[in-house]
Amino acid sequence: MPKKTIWYQNYTLEEIEGICQGNMVSHLGIQLTELGEDFLVGTMPVDHRTTQPAGLLHGGASVALAESLGSIAANLCVDPERSVCVGQEINASHLRPVRSGLVTGIAKPLYLGRSSQVWEVSVYDQRHRRVSAVRLTVAVVAVGHGGGKMKVFGG
């Protein structure tokens, strides 16, 4: 029996890498590392691009990682010719500091509806300790009515 997936089609990491080029995702060094049946994983370095003046991972960088993973995953769940998912609301609780290394985000859906989706993104340090808990809500809108096609899909 074939595995059930939430994705609109059977994407591979290689096929969706274009989403990360030429925008905040690549600027922050975010890399997509795993696409599971119902989750997307990515990493981000804790370095000069992502730390606050005190040398700790900036909360905004954690949120940028979470929103990037959640938004990419959300868009993989819809027909790219008809719909695009755009951020509507995000909240984050930062649980512990990180000074160096990589952080890993795991995006999983809490709700996949016709006009909105809700994603939970957990961010972990290299010792597998949760450093941020994030919830992202996206609106699913028609291409041309609030959003364009994702460029990886030919838009």
**CB burial class (10 A; 0-12, 13-18, 19+) of residue 99?**
exposed
Q: How many CB atoms lie within 10 A of CB 106?
A: 19
Q: What share of the chain is helix, strand, coil (3-state, %, to 5)?
A: 20, 40, 40
Provide the 8-state DSSP code for 64: H
Class of domain 13-153: alpha beta
Catalytic site residue from 14, 37, 67, 120: 67
Where do the structural domains in the chain lie, given as residue ranges?
13-153
Concerning whether 89 is annotated as a catalytic residue, the answer is: no
- Under 8 Å CB-to-CB from 14, ≥6 apart: which residues? none
Q: What is the pLDDT of residues 1-39, one digit of tens each?
A: 556 899 999 999 999 999 899 999 999 999 999 999 999
Q: What is the pLDDT of residues 77-117, one digit of tens each?
A: 999 999 999 999 999 999 999 999 999 999 999 999 999 99
| Main-chain dihedrals φ then ψ at residue 44, nearest 5 degrees | -145, 135
